[in-house]
Amino acid sequence: MNPLLQRYLPPLLVFGAALFFGWPPSAPLDLGDDVVRATSVRWRPDDLVDPPVIEPASNPFQAVLVADEASIVEPELAQPTRPAGPTAEVLTSGLRLDGIASMGGRRWAVLNSRPRLVGDLVRTSDTERHQCEIVSIETDHVVVRCQETVAKLQPRPAGSQRPAAASQVPAAAPDRDNQPSADEVPPPPQG
């Protein structure tokens, strides 16, 4: 095939199709008096009138209502006596905090013989197998949340079999007041 034909035939075909399909008609279409012709839309003159708004005279659902609004009574909900989830004692019996360390600017805790970071999910080692989330790791304790119960775990003393006493922490943000500020940290030794 001729190279000039291969080069110029596709653009000429596209240009020709664009002219053929895009060129306006030579004379406007006469469709009669009941059709108005616009530039791109055709409609009847009756379609230009806004439809009337009909408001129902009565409630159309009144016939199927079982009870009227006056007879509906709101039930009183019982107030919870304690947060949902296990108690702090159950959490401390199922979670064992072996140690807390800091490396590379991140704190991690050894919980149930495995290293854990903040945000990790841990299952208790008791029969209930509660799933808990580590909320914060401080220098002397770890805050763990299981459903709505928040417990503060202390590391076990060396050689003890029983867990250290857990304290119930309010469900608000973890306690960060015990961390020393930058002014309180002693400078590194000069050598």
Q: Binning pLDDT at 50, 70 and 90, where does residue 92 land?
A: confident
Q: Where along the chain do its domains lie? A: 88-168
Share of the chain above pLDDT 70, in %: 66
* pLDDT tens per residue across span 96-145: 888 898 888 888 899 888 999 999 999 888 777 888 999 999 989 999 99
pTM for this predicted structure = 0.43
Domain 88-168 = CATH 2.40.10: no
Nearest by Cα to 123 from 147, 98, 95: 95
Q: Is 114 helix (H, G, I), strand (E, B) or coil?
A: strand
- 83 φψ region: left (φ > 0), alpha (ψ -120 to 50), beta (else): beta
pLDDT per residue as tens digits for the range 5-57:
899 999 999 999 988 888 776 666 666 656 555 556 666 777 777 878 877 77
Collapsed DSSP state (helix, strand, coil) of residue 22 = helix
